[in-house]
Structure 1
Amino acid sequence: MADKNQQVYPIAPSANGHPRSDEESLVAKEEKRKKMIKWAGYIAAFTVFQVLVIVVFALVVMKVRTPKFRVGDGLQVKALTSEPSVPSFNMTLYAPIRVKNSNFGPYKYDATAVTFTYGGATVGQVAIPKGKASFKSTKKINAEVFLSSGSIPSGIPSGGNLGSDLNSGTLTLNSKGAMTGKVELMLIFKKKKAITMDCTMVINVSSKSVQSVQCQ
């Protein structure tokens, strides 16, 4: 027989006045599970985003491209005298030298020289001082160079026919050069890059003008 003095305590009502049920507990657990899945999705998406950023950074920003070294647009004949019967020529060129850097860091290059040739023989040279092409920009070096066939033995270079070329009214010249330097990325990483110039220019002797310029 139960003790008459034993008290029976009722089940505590919930906030809405109804007893808490197992169903309500399951709903709370389900909501908690959904929240965990949602946060896991956020973390996974953020991780994928970070990986993509790193991959793009490595492929685009940190990729070292070879700069370009060439005679730019604007090459001009400032003075030209020629004598087909000798044969000989003297010429002063305004030569805009360009170092194009497409990297996300500066290209610091050493001093070098650009040699101008006719028929394989050197007819002139211009010095290029050491310098820097800033990131994603082109370094402009404006120079004048004097070219003369007087440095060619007997005035006729091997592989060329100066007299015939002067009579035809056109001279084909070449400019060549080699440049060494380093591309700097993030002020930490340095990558050596050697670049070369190989340009061909056609000079119209009659009009004393540049007919065409092509660089490889």
Structure 2
Amino acid sequence: MSEPSALFQAIQAGDAATVTDLVEARAEWLSAESPSGLSPLLFAAYYHRPQMAALLIELGAPVSVFEAAAVGSEMHLQTALATDGSLLHAHRPDGFSLLGLTSFFGHEAAARLLLALGADVNAASRNVMRATPLRSAAAGDHTPLARLLLEAGADPDAAQHGGYTPLQSAAQNGNSDLVQLLLAAGADPRARNDQGQDALALAQENGHAEVARLLDDPNINSA
């Protein structure tokens, strides 16, 4: 296969040898775009292939500030932000901020760096999702990162498009630790999404009995 699609397929398959061979033969493919508009590096991030992302960087892939956030490269983030501090508040064409990307992909150290530099912990994505970093962390099932965001002042009840809250995401994922963390931070277990479902209903719908027991506590629901 002589098209860049071969590189994306190798990345998705986690085939390091093929990725290396293709890049060494066609270095320009490191700047190619997938059908969905992702660079090879972002493609590796979205398909949860951290080893492929590291390999691509080693092979010379260009690393934009957004790619650095998606793969959790503190070094590239620091370099880009030292050159242009306004990038801290920038958004990708798909609407996601640097902190939103690090939160979704679970890069705690990179998120800590962005927060220390002044990233807005409650800034929603500029797209139909309207997802805050905390909602992204909850959707990605990243409890330590969610804790970091809450400690930095994240709103535990910030709802995205459709009325989904971080607590509802945690309940839907069956993450009891994150559910307890959000409840302790003041998240409202009675909040309902646009379909009328609260966190308990979502836990029950997805078969998460332990989380359902936590949320069915009358002391929580009467608070």
Higher strand share: 1
Higher Rg of the two aligned structures = 1
The normalised TM-score by structure 2 is 0.23
The normalised TM-score by structure 1 is 0.23
Higher normalized contact order (CA 8 Å, seq sep 6+, divided by chain length):
1
Higher helix share: 2
